Amino acid sequence: MTTRPGLSREWLRKNMTTVGPIVFVIAVEVVFQMINPFFLKYQGIISLIYSMSYFLVAACGLTFVIMTGSFDFSVPSLLKLSALLCVLYIEDLGLWVIPLALLVCVGFGFINGLFLAKFNVPSFMATLGVSIVVEGIARYLSKGFLQIMDDKAFRSLSTTFIAGLPSVFYWGMGIWLISIFLALRTPFGRRTYAVGGNLIGAALSDTNVARHRIYVFMLSGFLSGLAGVLYMAQMGGGSVEMGADMAIPLFASVVAGGTALTGGVGGPHRTLLGVIIITWIQAGMNMLAIGRDIQMLTFGLIAIGMSIATIDRKRKIIK
């Protein structure tokens, strides 16, 4: 039998969601490198890292939620709220503002999870509602002004250079590695896949499904908050308008990595590729002065395209 061509095609089909993003990343890199030779020079790399690292932190949290088959719309608004809390209250609280911001975000994550797990509100709706509430709070607190962060200690969180790279890079990578570890090597991760893969099966094991879902949303809230802290530290200021167009790229980056919206498939290890694809395209387009309009269009298409590629069509999706 001539199985070889069939086998390799089979292999490619099975691993398409892994091979695809890698090929895509290389293609993106080559194209931008050709257009702009500075893309991967030191300065280019630094700017890429700045746009990528905090993003990766938030995306890791979202990945866990999507792995359970739910969705968290509140990530960008929690990120914003956390950033604003830091800049508004740093003078009063000093660096204690960081745990405060994180705690608030975890709290909203808890509320998200509670709506889903206890009241059976679909997570799309619950988190969208919460994100709008959070948006309102952010608007109220900041009163729409541009806020400047001038606390040196706070800013050094993201901007200290270690071995030639800003510290936010190590934060991002650290969180990413911890997320991978959590997803692949701990009972917590196994349960996350289980809840997304087969809800009834998970409920019939010794998993407390309701509590686990709440935990996952709390984790997502925590990482959104942390991303907000890092974002504020690297940007040094912002208004309530920041992060407004972060939502679509963020969602796109998780699915672009290969975590299916159906849940139970993918994981944070894949999200790095998705984040690279999205943030590099974003950075490349910025360098080429391509407008927001075309950028949004591109990310939307990537998100939809990757959803089609990764979704487990044997199962229902609406959750």
Q: How many CB atoms lie within 10 A of CB 44?
A: 18
Q: Which of 52, 69, 22 is closest to 199 using CA atoms? A: 69
Q: What is the H or E stretch that residue 165 is in?
A: strand 165-166
Assess 193 for contact with other proteins (CB under 8 A). yes
Q: State which H helix or E strand residue 40 sits in.
A: none
- Nearer CB in complex with other proteins: 160/186: 186
Residue 232 phi/psi, 5° resolution? -65, -40
Query: Which window, 39-47, 138-146, 184-192, 229-237, contacts other proteins (CB under 8 A)?
Result: 184-192
Residues 111-150, one symbol each (x = binds other proteins by CB under 8 A, - = not), give ----------------------------------------
Q: Which of 197, 225, 249, 274 lies at the binding interface for other proteins (CB under 8 A)?
A: 197
Instruction: Give the residue with the Cβ less far from other proteins, 211 or 292.
Output: 211
H or E stretch at 292: helix 292-310
Residue number with CB closer to other proteins (162 or 200): 200
* Binding of residue 200 to other proteins (CB under 8 A): yes
Min CB(61)–other proteins separation in Å:
21
- Cβ atoms of 267 and 259 within 8 Å: the answer is yes
**Which helix H or strand E contains 238, and what residues bound it?**
strand 237-238
Least CB distance from residue 193 to other proteins, whole Å?
Answer: 8
**Closest distance to other proteins from the beta carbon of 219 (Å):** 16
Distance CA 256, CA 251 (A): 8
Q: Are strands 237-238 and 161-162 parallel, antiparallel or unpaired?
A: unpaired
Considering only 110, 190, 237, 305, the residue that binds other proteins (CB under 8 A) is 190
Decide whether 40 or 182 has the Cβ nearer to other proteins.
182
| Residue 64 touches other proteins, criterion: CB under 8 A | no
Q: How far apart are CA 69 and CA 32, in angstroms?
A: 35
- In the window 242-301, what residues touch other proteins (CB under 8 A)? 264-265
Radius of gyration of the chain from its Cα atoms, rounded to whole angstroms: 20
Separation in Å, CA 261 to CA 54, 70, 99, 167, 171:
22, 8, 31, 32, 27
CB of 200 to other proteins, least distance (A): 6
Identify which of residues 56 and 194 has a Cβ nearer to other proteins in the complex. Answer: 194
- The least CB distance from residue 255 to other proteins, in Å, is 17
Give the nearest distance from C-beta 262 to other proteins in angstroms.
10
Please report, to the nearest 10 degrees, the dihedral formed by the alpha carbons of residues 19, 30, 305, 15 taken in order: 0
Please report, in angstroms and rounded to a whole number, the separation of the first and last CA atoms in the chain.
44
Identify the residue whose tokens are 């299916």: 260
- Which residue in 18, 198, 286, 307 binds other proteins (CB under 8 A)? 198
Read off the tokens for 154.
């706070």
**How many of the other CB atoms lie within 10 Å of CB of 31?**
13
Sites for other proteins among residues 201-220 (CB under 8 A): 201, 203-209
Whole-number minimum distance, CB 125 to other proteins, in Å? 21
Q: Give 76 or 113: the residue with its C-beta nearer to other proteins.
A: 113
Least distance to other proteins from the beta carbon of 144, Å?
46
Binding stretches for other proteins (CB under 8 A): 185-187, 190, 193-194, 197-198, 200-201, 203-209, 264-265, 312
